Structure 1
Amino acid sequence: MDKSRILWRVSAQVLPQGSLQTQRQAPWICRQCLHSSRSPSTLLRQQRRWQSNPADIDPNFKSIVDNPPTLIRAGGKHNKAGLAFLACMPITAFILGCWQIQRLGWKSELIARFEDRLVRDPLPLPPQIDPTAIKDFDYRRVYAQGKFRHDQEMLIGPRLHDGDDGYLVITPLERSQNFEGNSGNTTVLVCRGWIAKDKADQRSRPEGLTKGEVVVEGLLREPWKKNMFTPANKPEDGAWYFPDVYEMAEHTNSQAVWVEETMQPDLLQSYDRTVKGVPIGRPPEVNLRNNHTQYIFTWFSLSLATSIMLWMVIRKPATGGRGRVRHSTRW
């Protein structure tokens, strides 16, 4: 494009008084060049050089407005794959919400069954227990008499209790002397409760090591299932991270029976036990979490929100020829 078209007329006050002839020959100059440090005579010589040498200008130069326009469509039809994906979201969320309703009914029935077992009188623990039958007696109150084997004590940890770090004390209960003529294994595992971390050494809690015959009352519990994120226990090092009932029973030559000793919640008694190193037993109650109502609300809310989004997308028609615009492909 000719550069003389973008030049502006310069006032006569800008040029020197004695250069009248120069003013007549070059009456045009770029306004931006007025702020340049170069003198007006230099700018005029450069302008004359451009006019005398048109080859300095690129003959192939084209501006944006010189490029040919291309017609494009601004809004086409809805993408079928995107609509299918968006339609799957409310359907999936609705199905998950219905599934959580079923889970809520199952969990409520399970808690009611466990609470019914808690109000019954405790049963005496027989000499041998079939591990496969414990599932039908989960959360059943039982009692057993025997002697604690403190030499085989196991600490599972770390475990928190009211924000304090500590361990769960697992001690085998030997009951062979209470069943005369029974040659089978009568030892069971008893979870006595929680102790503070500084009471891990048995020498620091002599009052917590019960001597002689004891009667333990607690809850018969089904063995837990270990997940993939739980670290493996190290019995040879005395490191226990998860209550693996079968592994603990094999380590102590006991039955794979787990009894959790219970006590009534009492703040003063719990504080006294913590100081003395006596394990704090669990309260006789069902501690299963039941958050399925929140899950139901979450999934159905997500289904409603995604349904509204899908409706807003579908109700907006795809634009036709009115959506054509001029688009330059060369810049």
Structure 2
Amino acid sequence: MFPSRRVFTEVLRQTNNGYRTSPLKIEFRRATWTCPQCLRLRLCERPLGQKRFASTNAAEEKEFRSILDEPPRLVRMRRKHNYGGLIVLALIPLTAFALGTWQVQRLGWKTDLMARFEDRLVRPPLPLPLFIDPDAVKDFDYRRVYATGKLRHDQEMLVGPRIHDGDDGYLVITPLEREEMDDRGRMRKSKVLVCRGWISKKFRNQRERLKEGGQQALPDELVTVQGLLRQPWKKNMFTPLNKPEKGEWYFPAVSEMAEFVGSQPVWVEETMQPDLRETYFREARGIPIGRAAEVNLRNNHLQYIFTWYGLAVATSFMFWLVVRKPPSDIARRVRQSKSW
């Protein structure tokens, strides 16, 4: 028996007189394996009359070309980026840079304003005139003043709720009534609004304050109030409207409150020396806790400057990467050189 995977072939030689059978010559050679599917396709394309298993080597066929002879090639599409999207992306770093520049200007303005207020605080207090022009208050903002008169507790207004050290409470607004004799011997009266300070929510009723704090909580004699002359507060869009007829004040609207009690639209914030023991003493007895004589304006513009400029740098780098990189979905595609 012959070895496996070998074939037996008989070689015929042609002579001058015709064909004759030569002595048998036996060759042993290894068979070439061919994919059955490829072999079937070649057999279907073979012309009529050709022998079925004429050749087992695909390279012997003249018109056969492999995919290795004509490989596919990568081509770059000529489509560009969407200009509308690039314009929108370019506006982000430009807007951030503009906002950072605006915050630089705001920082300079806030620094000068705080320096001007600090200069007014170190000056000695001024006596508050009986009648004050409301338009001139802005030139004396954070100026220390004092006034003598009688507190009208019957016209007291509570603004709140307000938080102090984590506790709910109210700001006590009491008109200060003053009297003065003019040159003709006539008595003139006027009122200004005095923010006496903060009280706890449990002392909303004046009786509770009078019971615990006595005359210190609700003085009925002439008192001298020393504090800061301040400009009217500005209301934001999230603060609800006041309801004077119900005694509900959510925001210290100076003009509205002055009209309600018949006072001048002048706002004075009573001050006290910062003392922890005095603060606890007043809080426990319902005595209003005044504010410290200092400038309490927020100045976060330097943080905003770093934030906006950092965002401008980051978005500029991202925009450069987007412009530099071709469109991801159509940048390169495989294009075959022949349809198989």
TM-score by length of 2: 0.71
Which structure's residues are more often helix, by fraction? 1
Give the AA of the match of 2:191. Answer: T
Instruction: Report the Cα offset of residue 183 of structure 1.
Output: 5.2
Separation in structure 2 between the aligned mates of residue 322 and residue 284 of structure 1, nearest angstrom: 67
Separation in structure 2 between the aligned mates of residue 298 and residue 290 of structure 1, nearest angstrom: 15
| % identical aligned pairs | 66
**Structure 2 residue corresponding to 1:285, chosen from 281, 290, 294:** 294
**Structure 2 residue corresponding to 1:275, chosen from 242, 262, 284:** 284
Q: Deviations over 1:173-223 (max 9, x none)?
A: 011157684655421010000000000100011120012010000000000
Residues 108-123 of structure 1 aligned to structure 2 (within 5 Å)? 108-123=111-126
Quickly say closer, same or farther: Cα 1:178–1:75, change in 2 above 3 A.
farther
* Root mean square deviation, CA, Å: 2.4
Larger radius of gyration: 2
**Structure 2 residue corresponding to 1:173, chosen from 158, 173, 176:** 176
Question: Residue 132 of structure 1 aligns with which residue?
Answer: 135
Question: Residue 105 of structure 1 aligns with which residue?
Answer: 108
Instruction: Report the Cα offset of residue 76 of structure 1.
Output: 3.3
Question: Residue 86 of structure 1 aligns with which residue?
Answer: 89
Give the AA of the match of 1:303. Answer: A
Give the AA of the match of 1:90. Answer: P
Question: Residue 308 of structure 1 aligns with which residue?
Answer: 317
**Structure 1 residue 200 corresponds to structure 2 residue 209:** no
Instruction: Report the Cα offset of residue 74 of structure 1.
Output: 7.4
Question: Residue 269 of structure 2 aligns with which residue?
Answer: 260
**Which deviates the most, 80-89 or 181-190?**
181-190
TM-score by length of 1: 0.73
Separation in structure 2 between the aligned mates of residue 118 and residue 132 of structure 1, nearest angstrom: 20
* 1:223–1:244 Cα contact (<8 Å) kept: yes
Q: Deviations over 1:250-298 (max 9, x none)?
A: 1111110000000011111000001111000000000100000010000
* 1:192–1:280 Cα contact (<8 Å) kept: yes
Secondary structure in structure 2 of the residue aligned to 1:175: strand
Secondary structure in structure 2 of the residue aligned to 1:205: helix
Secondary structure in structure 1 of the residue aligned to 2:269: strand
Separation in structure 1 between the aligned mates of residue 186 and residue 236 of structure 2, nearest angstrom: 37
Instruction: Report the Cα offset of residue 73 of structure 1.
Output: 8.0
Question: Residue 191 of structure 1 aligns with which residue?
Answer: 195
* 1:75–1:323 Cα contact (<8 Å) kept: no
Separation in structure 2 between the aligned mates of residue 158 and residue 321 of structure 1, nearest angstrom: 61
Separation in structure 2 between the aligned mates of residue 318 and residue 228 of structure 1, nearest angstrom: 45
Q: Deviations over 1:206-249 (max 9, x none)?
A: 12001201000000000012222211111111111000011111
**Which deviates the most, 174-183 or 199-208?**
174-183
Question: Residue 150 of structure 1 aligns with which residue?
Answer: 153
Quickly say closer, same or farther: Cα 1:123–1:178, change in 2 above 3 A.
farther
**Which deviates the most, 312-321 or 102-111?**
312-321
* 1:167–1:196 Cα contact (<8 Å) kept: yes
**What is the aligned residue count?**
257
The runs of 5 or more residues in structure 2 that have no matched partner are: 1-74, 336-340
The runs of 5 or more residues in structure 1 that have no matched partner are: 1-71, 327-331
Separation in structure 1 between the aligned mates of residue 301 and residue 77 of structure 2, nearest angstrom: 46
Instruction: Report the Cα offset of residue 75 of structure 1.
Output: 8.2
